[in-house]
Structure 1
Amino acid sequence: MTQTTEPQEEYYSLADIWQQVKGFLRYLRQQWAWLLIAAIMGIGGGILYYYLQKPAYQAEETFILEEKTPGGGGLAGLASQFGFDISSLTGSSNIFSGDNILDILTSRRIVEHVLLSKVDSNQTNGPTLADVFLDFSKLKKAWRHKPGLDTINFYRVSGRNSLSLLQDSVLHEVYKRVTQKYVSVSRLNKKGTIITVTATSINPDFSLLLARRMVKEASDLYIDIKTSVSASNVNRLQQKADSLLALLNNKSYQVAGMQINDANPALKSVLVPTELASRDRTVLATLYTEVVKNLETVRTTLMLQTPVIEVLDMPHAPLEDGKMKLSLVIIIGFFIGLVVGVGYVFIRYLQQHWAMNAAKNIPPLS
């Protein structure tokens, strides 16, 4: 029987690997010209990128979300006797809790309302932020072959309800592009309540107005929500107070008309209607006093809840161009070119090493 021998695996010690590394470093020094060419090309690419990159005007507005929950104290208990829930005034604050505020700021309602706002608020038929975006984003130019889209504008739009079907579709497309690429909303830290709205575009006016108006629109929305919840309580209390006041006035006139001068002591029963009317007037006066007291409590509670959004930092014109500086792109280009050059030299070194091993019938280093 013939004994078959299994092929033996090649083993390399650390000394062998170190010899290969030193050999590559020697080869690398010999190929310095390739490294120089690669570095110069990287610098040239960085300079080219600097002049080709578009301006990036960034507007950043930071605000803090206040979660105020004023209580009505003892007066809230009096209001509850009449079926008025003062605590519901603060119930809507949960709408802005957690990360809901981030979704609300970039919601279609907020962003589209801002996009339809006039660049100059004093011009009723002036351009809107949506018109500015269509101009600098070159969307109209891309739509030049589509009838109606190449000349579309929002100059005469006075609100969301006045949009045509075509304008509504274009506005929705602008909203998607703006929220995906031009605006971002984030927290400074995960557990904090400081929110940052950042708008970046090649148009400084668009970036500035978009960041400012998004925060203002979100603040107005929050106040409207709080007001809509509390307004029902205020209106109900006001109606109750008005009704009680009307009854109290009527009862006062009724008591005055029932007064009998020099009544016969033998006919004391004639004074009973006057006494009943006086008692009813006293009861109405007491009820009216308590309702007015609760009404003022509700109004005070509502006043203490606004403003709920406090702006910390606001962008101001003129905005600085946020594109990368020339010195930075040169440094980055130099290192990228150097890395590419080293990689190219390394590949050539491996090719030569494999060719030499193949000529000597030596397995290549893997």
Structure 2
Amino acid sequence: MDKPKTTEPDELSIKDVLLRYKLVVKYLKNKILTIVAFGVLGGVLGLIYSFVKKPVYTATCTFVLDEGKSGGGLSQVAGLASLAGIDLGGAAGAGGVFQGDNIMELYKSRIMIEKALLSEITVNNRKQLLIDRYISALELRKKWKQKGIDTINFLGSSDSFNRTQDSIITDIAKAINKKVLDISKPDKKLTIIKVDISFVDELFAKEFNDKLVTTVNDFYIKTKIKKTSTNVNVLQRQADSVKAVLNSSLGSVASSIDAIPNANPLHSILKVPSQRKQIDVQASTAIYAEIVKNLELAKISLRQEAPLIQVIDTPVFPLTKEKLGKIGGILLGGLLFAFVCIFWLLLARSFRELGGKDS
């Protein structure tokens, strides 16, 4: 009994594929003048673009980050101190506000970029804000003239900026994150961090790199040790206060003794004032000694927790420059237009074939 025949969709054989390939090649050969014309046009436009396009300068800074030790050998001291009611801040803790790669995200934050942009630099013996340098390099005030905000400035405190100023800074920060700033770790196993600033203005690229690295690293260090630093300041104030009381008590003891230099030993009541002052001196001495001990332990904790940021390389003039050359512009424009022309020709041919089949 014969098996029923099943209808299968038509499949292209290797012969059909080769035949279609030959037809496409033949079609493109017939259109070679059109493709060459588009390629020449693209080459001319690429050459013009190479003259018009500004070079991009890249400022690079690399530094190594040592997070500091929040535990280690000091953790045993902190554990014993906690039993005695001594608070050493984050000495025995297992972490801080920022750890690992978080400093890299800090570089991309709006507030850090804003602080760097609002920094002043000296250009030809004149003070200039980095944000004004950025605006001038991209000629943004010409675009803002239509909106009537071309005279806006960014002088004064950022806390007093209006909505328009804040909006402009936010847009610039986004543009810098997207096109200008590149923060990375060349080797994931190492703690070396690389900060690249690529911009059409060489001076801006270098100065903004310097300001951003300084701003972020200073903020990182201060925030990392803020808790322990606060503890040290409190203990220092307590030590100074108790020391002042102790000095005053010592003076009072001397005054009490001098008031009755040859007291009758049979009248014990005459010794009471000086004995009271001596008790105050002993109490103040004990308290002062305990506070000083806590203060020294807190200072050790502060030194242990403080991260070390050591700059390895800083940007120097002349910066690395990337510019599209004349030959590169011609080749890039020519090849791009040639490929676009080929794609358009094949697409138009496909539509014509589909139209013929439908009819």
Please report the TM-score for the alignment, with normalisation by the length of structure 2: 0.74
**Equivalent residue, structure 2, for 1:243:** 241
Task: Report the Cα offset of residue 214 of structure 1.
Answer: 1.2
Are 1:205 and 2:203 counterparts?
Answer: yes
C-alpha distance after superposition, 1:263-301 (max 9, x if no partner): 888788987886776566455434423322331332343
Q: How does 1:38-187 map to 2 (within 5 A)?
A: 39-71=39-71, 72=74, 76=78, 80=82, 84-88=86-90, 94-120=96-122, 126-147=127-148, 149-154=149-154, 157-163=155-161, 166-187=164-185
The residue type equivalent to 1:135 in the other structure is S
The residue type equivalent to 1:44 in the other structure is V
In structure 2, the CA distance between the partners of 1:268 and 1:300, relative to structure 1 (3 Å rule), is: same
In structure 2, the CA distance between the partners of 1:78 and 1:350, relative to structure 1 (3 Å rule), is: closer
The residue type equivalent to 1:126 in the other structure is K
The residue type equivalent to 2:62 in the other structure is T
Alignment check: 8 A CA contact 1:76 1:294 kept: no
**Secondary structure, in 3 states, of the residue corresponding to 2:48?**
helix
In structure 2, the CA distance between the partners of 1:223 and 1:90, relative to structure 1 (3 Å rule), is: farther
The residue type equivalent to 2:133 in the other structure is V
Task: Report the Cα offset of residue 217 of structure 1.
Answer: 0.7
Alignment check: 8 A CA contact 2:97 2:224 kept: no
In structure 2, the CA distance between the partners of 1:338 and 1:240, relative to structure 1 (3 Å rule), is: same
Unaligned stretches of 5+ residues in structure 2: 1-5
Alignment check: 8 A CA contact 1:118 1:129 kept: yes
Task: Report the Cα offset of residue 169 of structure 1.
Answer: 4.4
Alignment check: 8 A CA contact 2:106 2:216 kept: yes
C-alpha distance after superposition, 1:330-351 (max 9, x if no partner): 4444544554566578679989
Alignment check: 8 A CA contact 1:92 1:225 kept: no
- What percent of counterpart residues are identical? 31
Inter-partner Cα distance in structure 2 for 1:117 and 1:196: 22
Inter-partner Cα distance in structure 2 for 1:348 and 1:107: 48
Q: How many aligned positions are there? A: 348
In structure 2, the CA distance between the partners of 1:121 and 1:297, relative to structure 1 (3 Å rule), is: farther
**Secondary structure, in 3 states, of the residue corresponding to 2:96?**
helix
**Secondary structure, in 3 states, of the residue corresponding to 2:301?**
helix
**Secondary structure, in 3 states, of the residue corresponding to 1:95?**
coil
**Secondary structure, in 3 states, of the residue corresponding to 1:127?**
strand
Inter-partner Cα distance in structure 1 for 2:342 and 2:164: 56
Inter-partner Cα distance in structure 2 for 1:166 and 1:30: 58
Inter-partner Cα distance in structure 2 for 1:59 and 1:335: 31
Please report the TM-score for the alignment, with normalisation by the length of structure 1: 0.72
**Secondary structure, in 3 states, of the residue corresponding to 2:67?**
coil
Inter-partner Cα distance in structure 2 for 1:74 and 1:269: 50
**Equivalent residue, structure 2, for 1:3:** none
Inter-partner Cα distance in structure 1 for 2:147 and 2:348: 54
Q: Which range moves more in the overlay, 297-306 or 335-344?
A: 335-344
The residue type equivalent to 1:293 in the other structure is K
Task: Report the Cα offset of residue 60 of structure 1.
Answer: 2.6
**Secondary structure, in 3 states, of the residue corresponding to 1:96?**
coil
Inter-partner Cα distance in structure 1 for 2:16 and 2:252: 118
Alignment check: 8 A CA contact 1:61 1:311 kept: yes
**Equivalent residue, structure 1, for 2:229:** 231
Alignment check: 8 A CA contact 1:42 1:336 kept: yes
Inter-partner Cα distance in structure 1 for 2:13 and 2:25: 19
Unaligned stretches of 5+ residues in structure 1: 1-5
Alignment check: 8 A CA contact 2:45 2:333 kept: yes
**Secondary structure, in 3 states, of the residue corresponding to 2:193?**
strand
Q: How does 1:214-293 map to 2 (within 5 A)?
A: 214-256=212-254, 257-258=256-257, 281-282=281-282, 284-293=284-293
